[in-house]
Amino acid sequence: QVQLVESGGGLVQAGGSLRLSCAASRRTFSTYTMGWFRRTPAKEREFVAAISWTSGSTDYADSVKGRFTISRDSAKNTVYLQMNSLKPEDTAVYYCAVDLGLRISRNWFEYNYWGQGTQVTVSS
């Protein structure tokens, strides 16, 4: 079993920045992906970004491309989401997740483990 713990959420003004962290309780498997999703009342588990733990390849939703950056620290089993130029529409609960598949996926149902979520609120 893998436990994921997110942190770094909060309240920020539009145009500001936040960095989310997600620490895994242990190294999962040799090949996997870690991703970030977000949930709002209108959208259930929208894909935000993902990173391949082995190759470092990344993928971003069009809505965050150029503003958000996903990265990893292998020594700490931690993935980060640097969020810049935040907009009110980025307000959501952000979740990190682990996918044990071989390829980066944008589909939430392909992810095997989930964190508890952290609230991000962007005021206008």
Are 78 and 11 in contact, with CB atoms under 8 Å apart?
A: no
Amino acid in the structure at residue 77: N
Q: Phi/psi at 64 (nearest 5 deg)?
A: -120, -5
Q: Phi/psi at 76 (nearest 5 deg)?
A: -100, 0
How many distinct helices (H) and strands (E) make up the chain?
0, 11
- pLDDT tens-digit map of 43-101: 889 999 999 988 899 999 999 999 999 999 988 889 999 999 999 999 999 999 999 88
Going from the C-alpha of 17 to that of each of 64, 77, 89, 113, 119, the distances in angstroms are 13, 23, 14, 27, 14
Are 73 and 56 in contact, with CB atoms under 8 Å apart?
A: no
The tokens for 46 are 């929208």
Q: Phi/psi at 109 (nearest 5 deg)?
A: -75, -10
31 pLDDT more than 70: no
Q: What pLDDT is recorded for position 74?
A: 85
Q: What pLDDT is recorded for position 2?
A: 83
